């Protein structure tokens, strides 16, 4: 079976690997489309994501869809031929967090394409994967494999919006308007937000946000005055989402969010925190909350996509055949050209 493997920084290889065995509760899926996410890009470019270092070949990819080939003896939820979206998260269901309805903090989670554990958890960027039946959600024929692969990033966005509380009638700002930021805008609109402001430093991604419902875009690099105006009179924004992964982005959120408003941290912050006005969190009684992965939102995301309640097509840059996987990663790394790039099989 054809496997994409990252051996280290800028060392991505295609290799043939034997098919995996199938347990009675499992499903063998022919992978059809896999989105390239920021963490996949980090593994590819640097051989690591934060403290998670690649110590053995890692198959990336956690935004996947495919078609069922074979099911284990105990599986009745899907059958061969079914088109499925793949939940990358296999949780234990019995730890204290799973039992409390917070399986995104499962102590025994296996998550596609992550070097956070040893041995590494292999991802979905390969010809076939074997997953638990509970990870397969059937999707209708009308939903393309490419759009079905958006289930995971959309689930992340829906969870972030859940963490923000009610957005009905609210002014929402998203700082960092890549694919996750754009999906958060769409989810916030769905949740009733009335004004949707996208902030980024790349005009092309801001244009994509306009196509999915942003009512206003601000380029933080070229329109500092517009950003400053949002901070006037203790802040003009009710709820903000930090998705850029920079302390500057969090600083914008803290300055622009009005007293008693909410900030959701979605990005993994890097760089220097000096100058970030953390004391304003206290002075303005802000609610600063984190959002990590998702729980039930994966099923919601697939349902929204399946029923056409959300159209992610404007975010789909290109579906690249696996033989050109290196081109796909190069394209995905270029924020001026790419929102979401997928690898197809
Ligand atoms: Zn658990």
Question: Ligand 1: distance of its center to the CA of 338 in Å?
Answer: 35
**Ligand 1 centroid distance, CA of 188 (Å):** 29
Query: In angstroms, what is the span from residue 89 Cα to ligand 1's centroid?
Result: 11
**DSSP secondary structure of 142-163:** TS-HHHHTTHHHHHHHHHHHHH
Q: Say what the pLDDT of residue 271 is.
A: 83
Kindly report whether the peptide bond that precedes residue 119 is cis, defined as omega within 30 degrees of 0.
yes
CA of 65 to the centre of ligand 1 (A): 24
**Is there a contact between 101 and 295 (Cβ–Cβ < 8 Å)?**
yes
How far is residue 30 CA from its own chain's centroid?
Answer: 22
Task: Pick out the chain residues at pLDDT < 50.
Answer: none
Ligand 1 center to residue 57 CA distance, Å? 26
State in Å: Cα 296 to ligand 1 middle. 14
Centre of ligand 1 to C-alpha 6, Å, is 28
Burial of 279 (0-12, 13-18, 19+ CB in 10 A): exposed
Q: 133, 27 in Cβ contact below 8 A?
A: yes
What's the pLDDT at 281? 98
Q: Angle of helix 203-211 relative to helix 179-190, nearest 10 degrees? A: 30
Predicted model pTM: 0.97
Å from CA of 152 to ligand 1 middle: 19
- What's residue 2's pLDDT? 96
- Residue that has been written with the tokens 């984190």 in this structure: 290
Burial (CB < 10 A; 0-12, 13-18, 19+), residue 268, is exposed
Instruction: Measure 98 CA to ligand 1 centroid, in angstroms.
Output: 4
Predicted local confidence at residue 283, as pLDDT = 98
Residue 270: the pLDDT is: 84
Measured in Å, residue 93 CA sits from the centre of ligand 1 at 5
Question: Which tokens sit at 146?
Answer: 């490419």
């Amino acid at each position: 079976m054809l496997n994409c493997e990252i051996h280290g920084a800028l060392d991505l290889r295609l290799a043939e690997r034997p098919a995996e065995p199938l347990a009675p509760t499992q499903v063998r899926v022919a992978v059809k489309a896999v989105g390239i996410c920021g963490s996949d890009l980090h593994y590819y470019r640097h051989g690591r994501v934060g403290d998670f270092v690649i110590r053995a070949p890692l198959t990336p990819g956690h935004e996947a869809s495919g078609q069922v080939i074979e099911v284990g003896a105990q599986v009745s939820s899907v059958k061969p031929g079914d088109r499925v979206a793949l939940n990358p998260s296999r949780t234990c269901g019995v730890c204290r967090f799973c039992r409390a309805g917070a399986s995104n903090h499962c102590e025994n989670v296996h998550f596609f394409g992550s070097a956070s554990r040893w041995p590494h958890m292999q991802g979905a960027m390969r010809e076939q994967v074997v997953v638990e039946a509970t990870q397969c959600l059937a999707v209708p024929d009308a939903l393309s494999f490419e759009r079905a692969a958006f289930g995971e990033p959309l689930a992340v966005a829906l969870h972030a919006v859940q963490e923000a509380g009610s957005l009905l009638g609210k002014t929402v700002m998203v700082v960092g308007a890549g694919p996750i930021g754009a999906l958060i805008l769409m989810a916030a609109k769905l949740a009733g937000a009335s004004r949707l402001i996208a902030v980024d430093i790349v005009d092309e991604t801001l244009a994509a946000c306009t196509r999915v419902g942003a009512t206003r875009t601000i380029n933080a690099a070229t329109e500092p005055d517009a950003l400053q105006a949002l901070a006037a009179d203790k802040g003009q924004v009710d709820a903000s989402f930090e998705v850029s992964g920079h302390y500057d982005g969090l600083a914008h959120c803290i300055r622009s969010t009005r007293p008693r408003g909410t900030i959701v941290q979605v990005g993994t912050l890097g760089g220097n925190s000096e100058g970030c006005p953390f004391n304003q969190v206290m002075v303005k009684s802000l609610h600063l909350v984190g959002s990590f992965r998702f729980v039930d939102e994966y099923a919601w995301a697939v349902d929204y996509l399946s029923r056409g309640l959300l159209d992610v097509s404007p975010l789909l840059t290109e579906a690249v055949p696996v033989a050109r996987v290196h081109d796909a990663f190069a394209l995905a790394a270029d924020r001026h050209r790419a929102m979401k790039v997928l690898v197809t099989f």
